[in-house]
Chains A and B, each alone.
Chain A
């Protein structure tokens, strides 16, 4: 289940094991049979740490979802609530265990109640429980510090949905505090990181907090040889353009179209109907969306996930040939030994074949979308903006889309892109877009537009000139004729556009940020470098030709396309650096803009 976490340069399994150990310890604290009542939001992230089997080992017999009313019947000694520290959930818990709802007939002996707050306890929540009169009923109240969750051998995420909004819209830096804490946990397991680089206000805050926390724990130095050579902290708002663009890698497109959550994607079931065996009558097509797990444990997926979608067809057909050839080997197996060997390979080959069938289906689904006129038109406009064409006029394609009442988020992505590439829109043009949007989609979206303005995504032009063309030229963000099949540059992930954030990372490694001082000044926030003292004797002696390991942390979100670009850099010959990627949240343009929308949920 977690084998894929140890493939990379850094064994992230250690992190996962540490998390599992803590979970085990807590479960053992509540001795006896148990039932867990889950805050639904947590089931996803927890699934990446522990499966039901681990829970069963520790006497968890039943699991329920947290909801109002009375607790369902369960003949267990302990009831444990796994919840986020949110007030409304406290009310539900109180409802669950309150005497007021009337005791069910005594089917079981009195039970012990416990709470596990994830990721942290909260005074406010405990106060609320006290007000509800139930605080005293809990035996164990603990916190489970789940900050950074390993998603893959080189990818960590805090899955903090509100991080970007909190930091850049509401000036609330709580998530930065959690980030710093998460980094301290990492350093406790993988050694102190000797060099910290950063760009952006939030990056500066996180670095400051890390240094301060280090001083506070000065006594307990870990004697672990440092695994990471450096840490790079990047604010999302130094590169607002990249998440707005449509991703063009295989994994990126799956996320754009279907959404990937906690390493799973939900796909329309029609193409995945079970293979009909000979003579079997066709069953009814399944109506439930097919849930597919997507990580590097699946060999084929690891090979194709980061490719530009145009290169997928060739990759899949190549794989098909290899698998066919492997199956043909049975004709060559003459001796018993050879046959035995062939048979032992069969499960692997069959898994490969079913994996190929799945991804062929997914690729077909995505191709239907990428070959549509709508997709093409949208992409054309995106690329026009990225190359600086007509960013100072009202765009007729956007106008048409509004007139046709296309989904609002699509409109917002395009309009924000135009604004970012033009360093703000002329007042007249901004007003025009705003009015069209409000008239077509409703005046309540005024709030969203205000939020977008506050975060700098959709703002009026101030007097300062547009620096974007300069940045684009200096950092070579637009590479004409990007090679999608055999890429030689990170710009392949957007078929021509190199993500600004990744370019900065690339330049930092070689030749260093000093060479782009001017450009760095054009981007918001300070840039800095800090060094942390390592205990004597722990300095890493790097072998000749051995790569450095850099942890890149995106504060405010990162896209799969950017992850692909970093992986590309990692495997480049003479690249010199391998990257581990961490973020507050894995995002795409749609989920990102959605987090900035102001629309209370319908009850």
Chain B
């Protein structure tokens, strides 16, 4: 046994001697006197994070255990990052992984990009990538949108399944674009340059809204922009691979809200090769009628679309619901249904043009249709309830 006086300026040579001796003694299972251990601990406890990191870089003996509090641990980590030595950073991260909860460690790494990168790499090496997937959830805790965007960018390197990876990529891209659009629109709105913002001031920021909501916003405030700008509907549709159906429905909702009926028409109109226009839709026209009606479309507009509903029963019921007289009259006329025409005549005003129209059809019908009995009995019925919930 020998004692070493506590001397912070102990020479490197002596230190090497000391540590080798202690290790040797421990190896021989000789008991190392408590005092020696205490002195060692004392010696070690004086090293600051900076000194510790330096020692690590120089391959000298070091001890991380003395960094107990969270604050000390983070100082150590920051010091390691400043030293730009990958091995040192990783060694510190290993210690932190052991001595900190997953949640706390990750919370701190969110804001330290370099350390985070090393951590991800380390986890991949030891096969614990799955840990990272759970951390994606933490993005919801990041309040500031720019920090959140950066966090999501980091998440891109996580080992998600190919599907999920696409979603995270989209999430990141979306937020990135939203930040740009938001900044721009806010500025335009406050400067009073654009009419649309004056007529329909924005009720909320576009940040962190889902993609469909963003598309709606774009169709509302940025309709018709070329697909070169981030805020144009065309660009959003392309970038996020939005289906035709979804795109159509969203545009329809926005333009209908603005009562831009010509735009609505344009959505469905296609020119065939002869140059004639024709209306087509990937979703049933009855759905379109509903949306238009919810946005208080005038009867003339509604009428056009009710007319396009293929199913006759549905067409009649919708026309009756929304009082599209012409549609009803024309449909019954096409079905050669005298009975219904007579019935309907009773429902319209005597002096109205509808009344006259029905009269005209009826008077011509005998000549045109003969005494043909109606082929078609209109039945308005809804699927019968499996449960009789009307008690």
A47: B residues at CB distance < 8 A: none
B212: A residues at CB distance < 8 A: 405, 439-440
Known: A439-B210, A440-B212, A443-B168. A314 touches B391 (CB 8 A): yes
B128 located at the interface, meaning its Cβ lies under 8 Å from any Cβ of chain A in the complex: no
A450: B residues at CB distance < 8 A: 133, 164
Q: From residue B89, how far is it (CB to closest CB) to chain A in Å?
A: 29
Q: Report whether A248 and B387 are in contact in the complex, using a CB–CB cutoff of 8 Å.
A: yes
B242 located at the interface, meaning its Cβ lies under 8 Å from any Cβ of chain A in the complex: yes
Q: Report whether A380 and B391 are in contact in the complex, using a CB–CB cutoff of 8 Å.
A: no
> Restricting to A376-412, which residues have a CB under 8 Å from any CB of B?
376, 379-380, 383, 399-400, 403, 405
B210: A residues at CB distance < 8 A: 438-443
> Restricting to A233-279, which residues have a CB under 8 Å from any CB of B?
248
**CA A598 – CA B170 in complex, angstroms?**
19
**CA A310 – CA B170 in complex, angstroms?**
47
Q: Report whether B167 and A438 are in contact in the complex, using a CB–CB cutoff of 8 Å.
A: yes
**CA A284 – CA B185 in complex, angstroms?**
45
**CA A309 – CA B387 in complex, angstroms?**
10
Known: A380-B386, A600-B141. A443 touches B171 (CB 8 A): yes
* Per-residue contact bits, chain A 334-368, to B (CB 8 Å; 1 contact, 0 not): 00000000000000000000000000000000010
Where chain B touches its partner, the secondary structure class is helix
Known: A438-B167, A446-B167. A370 touches B389 (CB 8 A): yes
**CA A168 – CA B164 in complex, angstroms?**
22
**CA A371 – CA B216 in complex, angstroms?**
32
Q: Report whether B388 and A403 are in contact in the complex, using a CB–CB cutoff of 8 Å.
A: no
> Restricting to B332-391, which residues have a CB under 8 Å from any CB of A?
383, 385-391
B204: A residues at CB distance < 8 A: none
A159 located at the interface, meaning its Cβ lies under 8 Å from any Cβ of chain B in the complex: no
Q: Report whether A599 and B140 are in contact in the complex, using a CB–CB cutoff of 8 Å.
A: yes
B198 located at the interface, meaning its Cβ lies under 8 Å from any Cβ of chain A in the complex: no
Q: From residue B324, how far is it (CB to closest CB) to chain A in Å?
A: 21
Q: From residue A238, how far is it (CB to closest CB) to chain B in Å?
A: 27
Q: From residue A188, how far is it (CB to closest CB) to chain B in Å?
A: 37
Number of interface residues of B (CB under 8 A): 32
* Per-residue contact bits, chain B 216-227, to A (CB 8 Å; 1 contact, 0 not): 000000000000
A418 located at the interface, meaning its Cβ lies under 8 Å from any Cβ of chain B in the complex: no
From A442, A495, A599, A600, contact of B386 by CB (8 A): A495
Q: Report whether B168 and A446 are in contact in the complex, using a CB–CB cutoff of 8 Å.
A: yes
Known: A443-B168, A443-B170, A443-B174. A598 touches B137 (CB 8 A): yes
From A371, A403, A431, A599, contact of B389 by CB (8 A): A371
Q: From residue B19, how far is it (CB to closest CB) to chain A in Å?
A: 33
Residue among A312, A313, A431, A446 facing the most chain B CB atoms (10 A cut-off): A446
Q: Report whether A403 and B167 are in contact in the complex, using a CB–CB cutoff of 8 Å.
A: no
B62 located at the interface, meaning its Cβ lies under 8 Å from any Cβ of chain A in the complex: no
B57 located at the interface, meaning its Cβ lies under 8 Å from any Cβ of chain A in the complex: no
B261: A residues at CB distance < 8 A: none
B65 located at the interface, meaning its Cβ lies under 8 Å from any Cβ of chain A in the complex: no
**CA A18 – CA B126 in complex, angstroms?**
52
**Which residue of chain B lies nearest to A441 when distances are taken between CB atoms in the complex?**
B210
**CA A442 – CA B211 in complex, angstroms?**
7
> Restricting to B156-173, which residues have a CB under 8 Å from any CB of A?
163-164, 167-168, 170-171
* Per-residue contact bits, chain B 229-271, to A (CB 8 Å; 1 contact, 0 not): 0000000000010100110010000000000000000000000
From A313, A380, A439, A599, contact of B242 by CB (8 A): A439
From B163, B209, B387, B390, contact of A431 by CB (8 A): B163
**Which residue of chain A lies nearest to B140 when distances are taken between CB atoms in the complex?**
A600
Q: From residue B91, how far is it (CB to closest CB) to chain A in Å?
A: 27
B133: A residues at CB distance < 8 A: 450
B122 located at the interface, meaning its Cβ lies under 8 Å from any Cβ of chain A in the complex: no
Q: From residue B326, how far is it (CB to closest CB) to chain A in Å?
A: 27
* Per-residue contact bits, chain B 45-62, to A (CB 8 Å; 1 contact, 0 not): 000000000000000000
Residue among A438, A439, A450 facing the most chain B CB atoms (10 A cut-off): A439
**Which residue of chain A lies nearest to B242 when distances are taken between CB atoms in the complex?**
A439
Q: Report whether A444 and B140 are in contact in the complex, using a CB–CB cutoff of 8 Å.
A: yes
**Which residue of chain B lies nearest to A379 when distances are taken between CB atoms in the complex?**
B387
Residue among A376, A436, A443, A496 facing the most chain B CB atoms (10 A cut-off): A443
> Restricting to A543-591, which residues have a CB under 8 Å from any CB of B?
none
Residue among B171, B245, B387 facing the most chain A CB atoms (10 A cut-off): B387
**CA A351 – CA B137 in complex, angstroms?**
52
A306 located at the interface, meaning its Cβ lies under 8 Å from any Cβ of chain B in the complex: no
Q: Report whether B386 and A496 are in contact in the complex, using a CB–CB cutoff of 8 Å.
A: yes
Q: Report whether A371 and B390 are in contact in the complex, using a CB–CB cutoff of 8 Å.
A: yes
* Per-residue contact bits, chain B 272-292, to A (CB 8 Å; 1 contact, 0 not): 000000000000000100000
* Per-residue contact bits, chain A 282-300, to B (CB 8 Å; 1 contact, 0 not): 0000000000000000000
B322 located at the interface, meaning its Cβ lies under 8 Å from any Cβ of chain A in the complex: no
Q: Report whether A309 and B389 are in contact in the complex, using a CB–CB cutoff of 8 Å.
A: yes
**CA A436 – CA B388 in complex, angstroms?**
34
**CA A380 – CA B385 in complex, angstroms?**
9
B136 located at the interface, meaning its Cβ lies under 8 Å from any Cβ of chain A in the complex: yes
**Which residue of chain B lies nearest to A372 when distances are taken between CB atoms in the complex?**
B389
B124 located at the interface, meaning its Cβ lies under 8 Å from any Cβ of chain A in the complex: no
A313: B residues at CB distance < 8 A: 391
A484 located at the interface, meaning its Cβ lies under 8 Å from any Cβ of chain B in the complex: yes
A447 located at the interface, meaning its Cβ lies under 8 Å from any Cβ of chain B in the complex: yes
**CA A81 – CA B182 in complex, angstroms?**
48
Known: A310-B388, A431-B163. A436 touches B139 (CB 8 A): no
**CA A367 – CA B388 in complex, angstroms?**
12
From B137, B209, B245, contact of A447 by CB (8 A): B137
B211: A residues at CB distance < 8 A: 438-440, 443
**CA A312 – CA B387 in complex, angstroms?**
14
**CA A370 – CA B387 in complex, angstroms?**
10
A440: B residues at CB distance < 8 A: 210-212
Q: Report whether A443 and B137 are in contact in the complex, using a CB–CB cutoff of 8 Å.
A: no
**CA A359 – CA B388 in complex, angstroms?**
20
Q: Report whether B249 and A403 are in contact in the complex, using a CB–CB cutoff of 8 Å.
A: yes
Q: From residue A509, how far is it (CB to closest CB) to chain B in Å?
A: 29
Q: Report whether B141 and A310 are in contact in the complex, using a CB–CB cutoff of 8 Å.
A: no
**CA A320 – CA B285 in complex, angstroms?**
49
B386: A residues at CB distance < 8 A: 379-380, 383, 495-496
**Which residue of chain A lies nearest to B141 when distances are taken between CB atoms in the complex?**
A600
A371: B residues at CB distance < 8 A: 389-390
A438: B residues at CB distance < 8 A: 167, 170, 210-211
From B136, B137, B246, B389, contact of A439 by CB (8 A): B246
Known: A446-B167, A447-B136. A400 touches B287 (CB 8 A): yes
Q: From residue A355, how far is it (CB to closest CB) to chain B in Å?
A: 19
Known: A446-B167, A495-B387. A439 touches B240 (CB 8 A): yes
> Restricting to A452-492, which residues have a CB under 8 Å from any CB of B?
484
Contacts A/B (CB < 8 Å), 9 sampled: A310-B389, A367-B391, A376-B389, A399-B245, A403-B246, A442-B210, A443-B170, A443-B174, A484-B388
Chain B interfacial positions (CB closer than 8 Å to A): 133, 136-137, 139-141, 163-164, 167-168, 170-171, 174, 208-212, 240, 242, 245-246, 249, 287, 383, 385-391
Instruction: Contacts A399-B245, A403-B246, A446-B167 known; list 14 others, CB within 8 Å.
Output: A310-B387, A314-B391, A367-B389, A367-B391, A371-B390, A379-B387, A380-B383, A440-B212, A442-B208, A443-B167, A443-B211, A446-B168, A450-B133, A484-B388
